[in-house]
Amino acid sequence: MIDELIPLELHEELNAFRHDLEKITSQHIDACPFCGKNEFYLIRSKPTTTYRCKACYKYFTVAVNTPFSRLTPFNWLEIIFINRIQNQSYNTIANNLGCSIEKVMRRDHAMIDYLKSHYHSLYQWYTKKQQSCLNPVLIEQHKVVNAKITTLLNVQNPTCIHCGSTDTTKVGNRTCYRCKRCRHSFNILNGTKLNRLPKPELWLQFIDLLVAGETNAQLEKKLKLTDNTIRSWRSTWCTMMKQWNCDALAIWCQSH
């Protein structure tokens, strides 16, 4: 029923991916993922069927070595995948499954990771589609984050962290201020992860690009920053988003 929503040339990858998901859902194991032998002990069946190989003695579940190992119940994966293709928002899916929106997003992201390493064309199509139908929660949280940053960069008279006075004035073009009462200087970003993050003039643009789902390579090119900088900015901003209670957006921006 979702076949007609997906370009024909992707059907082979689609079927292979759905087959993988079905296998994980059924928790059926043919061979030890470590040594390939096919005799194992059943260690437990709940919450996840866990085996131990009789040859190499390693423990494993059907999802070992996949991004899905902790994401039970496994049958949610395909439900979420199909619902996303049908343009259902994360909220709707979360309501239907009776779980939090973060749980839905974590599973969706695990699938994106998996597609990225196994089914590249389907991965590209799926992520592009995701970006074209950002759900309302993400749009809302994106606004919150932009507003926070704009406030941080433009505050006129922040409260002095030393004496509590608001008789303060900006020094320089960053986020440093001096208190006219106690004469101390302070940085309003002190104690946050943003304190040492350079180039505040790029912050808003960076967030926009993250939300748009740009990869590290694309960000590197567009902002002329190094790969290391992009990585550390991505992680810093995801931490800030969580601190600002924008967890869904943080999960969304964590990886692409």
Is 77 a residue that touches Zn ion (CB under 5 A)?
no
Is 31 a residue that touches Zn ion (CB under 5 A)?
no
Nearest alpha-carbon partner for 79 in 52, 99, 54, 64? 99
Is 162 a residue that touches Zn ion (CB under 5 A)?
yes
Is 64 a residue that touches Zn ion (CB under 5 A)?
no
Among 16, 31, 55, 217, binds Zn ion (CB under 5 A): 55
Among 134, 182, 202, 223, binds Zn ion (CB under 5 A): 182
Is 171 a residue that touches Zn ion (CB under 5 A)?
no
Kindly give, in sequence order, each residue whose CB lies less than 8 Å from that of residue 17, ignoring residues fewer than 6 positions away.
114, 115, 118, 119, 122
Angstrom distance (rounded) from CA 231 to CA 208:
16
Among 62, 77, 145, 160, binds Zn ion (CB under 5 A): 160
Site string for Zn ion, 123-152 (x = CB under 5 A): ------------------------------
Q: Residue 65 Cβ, how far from Zn ion at the closest point, in Å?
A: 13
Q: Going edge to edge, which strands form the sheet with 168-171?
A: 168-171, 176-179, 185-187
The stretches of the chain forming alpha helices (DSSP H) are 11-26, 75-85, 90-97, 101-118, 120-132, 136-154, 203-211, 216-223, 227-243, 247-254
Q: What is the DSSP letter of 46?
A: S
> Which of residues 55 and 212 has its CB atom nearest to Zn ion in the complex?
55
Binding residues vs Zn ion (CB under 5 A): 32, 34-35, 53, 55-56, 160, 162-163, 165, 179, 181-182
